[in-house]
């Protein structure tokens, strides 16, 4: 099945963080960058499908970002504006951008957030539980009715601190999307293949492992599939590349409307393609303005990387 115009695609419901990020990048220090797992994933999924966001922001969050999301086809009716400060995260990247340290996480309005899905979101067929407290991911799951696919992302912060609740999330989802470091941590095994097997045993039917500039792997009933990353000449800011990847993956699947092996593999290529744009500028500067044509052109180049003969 091929792609259709986004208006004709099934919708994607995204729950996650909306944030201010303070980033120490090799090129510059960037303060108050609008980020968050839901923000990145929404801009990316909206390239392929109508998107609904469930999140919370504080009084200080820019309305311009919500307007920008709306302008890209994202329904922001599920974004609650609470009294207080928006979630804040600070990170420092290594000179080669390959690793980063979290310097600070301030939950702020997330500390008291209880997601309430607008009635219209309960039947959304594709659900992305973006990186957020696993208890909140569960609360969202409790409010949706029989989605076709539930995918979830998480991070070291929750694997370390909320393993039990995260385990409950894993038992209820179809697809887990994590990076290789998180996979090793979750499985307590450094070998990716063994670790993937172990994590699949925790519940999800499919597992996607993001490996940064080394691409991504899909583990499911059909075995293992590998998609390369697009080799970039300009790498500025990898923040949100994982969320952008997850958003594109779900958006593409919602667009095509099939969950067969070939569609999932194509979705993995597409996700890597869109995520590569994220790294080329700070925050969502690049992905919020991306055109279908730019994505299609890069996807062709990406596919050529693994074409033999
Ligand atoms: P990524 O680079 O794909 O892992 O995503 C980075 C984004 O995740 C940043 O914009 C942060 O605001 C957000 N983030 C970082 N830590 C957390 C957390 N503990 N919960 C939710 N979102 C987070």
Residues with CB under 6 A from ligand 1: 17, 19, 21, 35-37, 89, 105, 131-132, 155, 157, 239-243
- b/e map of 7-33 (b: 16 or more CB within 10 Å)? eebbbbbbbbbbbbbbbebeeeebeeb
Query: What does the pLDDT look like over 143-198, one tens digit per residue?
Result: 999 999 999 999 998 999 999 999 999 999 999 999 999 999 999 999 999 999 99
Q: Whose CA is nearest to atom 5 of ligand 1?
A: 240
C-alpha–C-alpha distance, residues 278 and 244, integer Å: 7
- Choose one of 19, 86, 209 to mutate for the ligand 1 pocket test, by most ligand atoms within 8 angstroms of C-beta: 19
The pLDDT value given to residue 309? 82
Average pLDDT over residues 78-107: 96
Q: What is the dihedral of CA 238, 75, 124, 286, to 10 degrees?
A: -20
Confidence band (pLDDT; 50, 70, 90) for 75? Answer: very high
Which residue has a Cα nearest atom 1 of ligand 1?
Answer: 240
Q: Which residues contact 290 (CB under 8 A, 6 or more apart)?
A: 43, 47, 274, 277
Question: In whole angstroms, what is the distance from residue 11 CA to residue 33 CA?
Answer: 27
Stated as kind and residue range, the H or E segment containing 277 is: helix 261-279
The ligand 1 atom nearest the CA atom of 179: 4
């Amino acid at each position: 099945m091929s792609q259709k115009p986004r208006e004709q695609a099934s919708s994607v419901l995204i729950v996650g963080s909306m944030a201010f990020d303070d980033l120490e990048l090799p090129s510059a220090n960037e303060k108050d960058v609008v980020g968050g797992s839901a923000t990145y994933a929404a801009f990316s999924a909206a390239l392929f499908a109508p998107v609904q966001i469930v999140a919370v922001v504080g009084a200080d969050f820019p309305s311009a970002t919500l307007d920008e999301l709306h302008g890209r086809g994202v329904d922001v009716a599920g974004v609650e504006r609470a009294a207080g400060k928006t979630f804040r995260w600070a990170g420092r990247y290594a000179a080669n951008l390959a690793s980063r340290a979290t310097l600070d996480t301030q939950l702020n309005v997330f500390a008291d957030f209880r997601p309430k899905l607008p009635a219209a979101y309960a039947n959304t067929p594709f659900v992305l539980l973006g990186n957020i407290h696993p208890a909140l991911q569960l609360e969202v799951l409790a409010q949706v009715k029989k989605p076709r696919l539930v995918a979830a992302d998480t991070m070291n912060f929750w694997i370390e601190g909320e393993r039990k609740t995260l385990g409950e999330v894993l038992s209820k989802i179809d697809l887990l999307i994590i990076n290789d470091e998180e996979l090793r941590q979750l499985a307590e095994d450094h070998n990716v293949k063994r670790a993937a097997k172990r994590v699949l045993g925790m519940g999800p039917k499919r597992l996607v492992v993001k490996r940064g500039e080394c691409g991504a792997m899909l583990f499911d009933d059909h075995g293992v599939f590998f998609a390369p990353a697009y080799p970039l000449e300009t790498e500025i800011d990898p923040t949100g590349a994982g969320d952008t990847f997850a958003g594109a993956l779900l958006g593409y699947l919602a667009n095509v409307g099939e969950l067969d092996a070939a569609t999932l593999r194509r979705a993995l290529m597409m996700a890597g393609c869109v995520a590569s744009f994220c790294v080329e500028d700070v925050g969502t500067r690049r992905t919020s303005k991306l055109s279908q044509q730019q994505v299609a052109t890069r996807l062709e180049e990406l596919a050529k990387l693994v074409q033999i003969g």
